[in-house]
Amino acid sequence: MSINFTDIRAQFPILQQTENGQPLVYLDNGATSQKPQSVIDAITRYYTSENANVHRGVYGLSERATDLFEGARKKTRQFLNASATQEIIFTAGTTESINLVASSWGKQNLKPGDEVIITEMEHHSNIVPWQFLRDELGIILSILRINDLGEICLDDFKSMLSSKTKFVSIVHVSNALGTINPVKEMTALAHAVGAKVLIDGAQSVPHLAVDVQDIGCDFYAFSAHKMYGPTGIGVLFGKQALLEEMPPYQGGGDMIYSVTFEQTKFNVLPYKFEAGTPNISGAIGLGAAIDFVQSIGLAEIAEYEDGLLKYATEQLLTIDGLRIIGQAKHKGGVVSFAIEGVHPHDMATLMDQDGIALRASHHCAMPVMQKFKVPSTMRASFGVYNNLADIDCLVKAIQEAKEMLL
Ligand code: 7TS
């Protein structure tokens, strides 16, 4: 099915503006996506006529705000196909979701000598929290290496797993390489040795359909701002039985059932993990973002963006000296590349003059840069409003910039 692009693009006010006198070509969706009018409107409407704190007031306004907030949780449950709303914890984003699991589940369940496995293609937010635990608890942090195409090998993974492996934390779609990992197979393999599994879905939820029950993972983390929603809000899905056993991550209001100076009884799920006034407008914006992607259809989005990826790959490879970093068989809409003799930052600066937002960075995945022996790469990452003309524009601008720089 083909998406009507002009319509989708027209829903994003920012894409109507110019940058440096040129129409904005936004190709940094891996960092954050732009927001459609429906998301902006939902947040504005909340602050204009629905604002009150949630779960507290018995007056109508607070009840309406609570309904909207909890309505967003219901949408998120359905979006991930989780089995209960108790399994949906609102966090500040993927980073906080992973830190929550490392801190709460990790400290309760891991002891010296236990092993946590991550892959070589993780974002720093799925490396550093586990290093904290390694240094604090004396656990072993093992790295599943990737091949020169930027893929993991399931046989390598199988051979690493043992009764010492207690936790596996893996990225679903790599932000630096675009690789889509076989998370369902990896989850089954990890479960076979009794390990729990977290999937970092920051780069997957906007681009492909995710079903946490089908994957079978114990935890799934994502951020709203990469899927057309606001910043400062994200989700941790966790299996209810595990979340029930885990201690709270932070203490404060809303996460308690009763408090005396001697003892505090904690609230039920999901509130046990949501201390303090939550990001109400953020959750409402996330709900609107879910409505937005579902109105198009995740399968349609995945197919459309795959077309963009294939076209971009083909066109970029016509540029002399350009090397694509990350050539996995299964890839999401991310193309990382290096051009012989060109510093990525110089290129991105020149792109900006043409109104093109192109990322030049280590993409918070420094070990990936180390593996491919580059300090950084240029990265074009696609969203549902990008089109072939954006890619043509990018390729033409790179050709011109290359002539200036070399
Ligand atoms: N995991 C992955 C795979 C990511 O791509 C990112 C952010 C995060 C976790 C962290 O998400 P946050 O919302 O908590 O910050 N990735 C990027 C990027 O590629 N460019 O800027 C941020």
Does residue 262 lie within any of the structural domains? yes
Regarding whether 222 and 73 lie in a shared domain, the answer is yes
Give how many domains the chain has, as a whole number. 2
pLDDT interval class at 4 (50, 70, 90): confident
Domain match, 239 and 360 both: no
Which of 26, 94, 180 most suits a substitution to test ligand 1, by most atoms within 8 Å of the C-beta? 94
**Residue 6: pLDDT band with limits 50, 70, 90:** confident
Positions annotated as catalytic residues are 364
CB of 274 closer than 8 Å to CB of 255 = yes
Protein residue with least CA distance to atom 15, ligand 1: 95
Q: Are residues 75 and 211 in the same domain?
A: yes
Q: What is the pLDDT of residues 63-110, one digit of tens each?
A: 999 999 999 999 999 999 999 999 999 999 999 999 999 999 999 999
Question: CB of 280 within 8 A of CB of 69?
Answer: yes
CA 123 to centroid of ligand 1, rounded, Å: 7
My answer on whether 288 and 306 are in the same domain is no
- Answer yes or no: are the C-beta atoms of 375 and 346 closer than 8 Å: no
Domain boundary among 294, 314, 340: 294
Residue 230: which CATH number?
3.40.640.10
In the 8-state DSSP scheme, what is residue 267? P
**Residue 323 and residue 338 in contact, taking contact as beta carbons nearer than 8 Å:** yes
Whether the Cβ atoms of residue 208 and residue 332 lie closer than 8 Å to each other: yes
Give the integer Cα–Cα distance in Å for 297 and 293: 6
What does pTM read for this prediction? 0.98
Among 129, 112, 113, 291, residue whose Cα is nearest residue 198: 129
| Contact status, residue 168 vs residue 117, Cβ threshold 8 Å | yes
- Is 150 in the same domain as 258? yes
- Report angle CA 36, 42, 46 to the nearest 5 degrees: 150
1 close to 358: Cβ distance less than 8 angstroms: no
For residue 285, pLDDT over 60 is answered with: yes
Domain boundary among 294, 318, 350: 294
The residue whose two tokens read 């993974």 is 157
Ligand 1 shell residues, CB under 6 Å:
30-31, 93-95, 123, 125, 171, 175, 200, 202-203, 223, 363-364
Strand partners, 323: 338
Which whole number is the average pLDDT over 297-310? 97
Expressed as residue numbers, the domain containing 257 is 40-294
- Our CA angle for 253, 232, 239, nearest 5°, is 65
Query: Which atom in ligand 1 lies closest to the alpha carbon of residue 365?
Result: 19
Task: State the burial class of residue 140 (Cβ atoms within 10 Å of its Cβ: 0-12, 13-18, 19+).
Answer: middle
Give the pairing of strands 322-325 and 334-339.
antiparallel
**Does residue 22 belong to any structural domain of this protein?**
yes
290 and 307 housed in the same domain: no
Residue 323 lies in a domain: yes
pLDDT in tens, 330-378: 999 999 999 999 999 999 999 999 999 999 999 999 999 999 999 999 9
Q: Is residue 138 part of a domain?
A: yes
**Closest ligand 1 atom number to CA of residue 125:** 9
Whether 1 has a pLDDT exceeding 60, the answer reads no
Q: Does some domain include residue 369?
A: yes
Ligand 1 atom with minimal separation from the 225 CA? 13
Of 33, 99, 100, 223, best ligand 1 pocket probe by most atoms within 8 Å of the beta carbon: 223
Rounded Cα gap, residues 272 and 41, in angstroms: 30
Contact 309, 331 (CB under 8 A): yes
DSSP 8-state assignment for residue 126 = G
User: 3-class DSSP state for residue 203?
Assistant: coil
Position 13 confidence tier, pLDDT thresholds 50, 70, 90: very high
User: Ligand 1 center to residue 406 CA distance, Å?
Assistant: 32
Q: What is the pLDDT of residues 149-205, one digit of tens each?
A: 999 999 999 999 999 999 999 999 999 999 999 999 999 999 999 999 999 999 999
User: Do residue 165 and residue 286 come from a single domain?
Assistant: yes
* Residue 339 sits in the same domain as residue 200: no
In a domain, residue 155? The reply is yes
Mean pLDDT across 287-293: 98
- Assigned domain for 35 exists: no
pLDDT of residue 141: 98
> What's the CA-to-centroid distance between 332 and ligand 1, angstroms?
15
The confidence score (pLDDT) of residue 2 equals 64
Asked if residue 96 is part of any domain, the answer here is yes
Residues 269 and 369 placed together within one structural domain of the fold: no
The reply to whether 152 and 209 lie within a common domain is yes
Looking at 294, 322, 346, the residue that finishes a domain is: 294
Compute, in angstroms, the gap from residue 55 CA to the centroid of ligand 1: 31
What CATH number has the domain bearing residue 390? Answer: 3.90.1150.10
% of the chain beyond a pLDDT of 70? 99
Span from the CA of 47 to the centroid of ligand 1 (angstroms): 28
CB 229 within 8 A of CB 200: no
Average pLDDT of the chain is 97
Q: Whose CA is nearest to atom 5 of ligand 1?
A: 175
Question: Quick one: 62 and 153 in the same domain?
Answer: yes
Say yes or no: 333 and 274 in one domain.
Answer: no
Per-residue pLDDT reduced to its tens digit, 110-133: 999 999 999 999 999 999 999 999
The rounded Cα 232 to chain-centroid distance in angstroms is 13
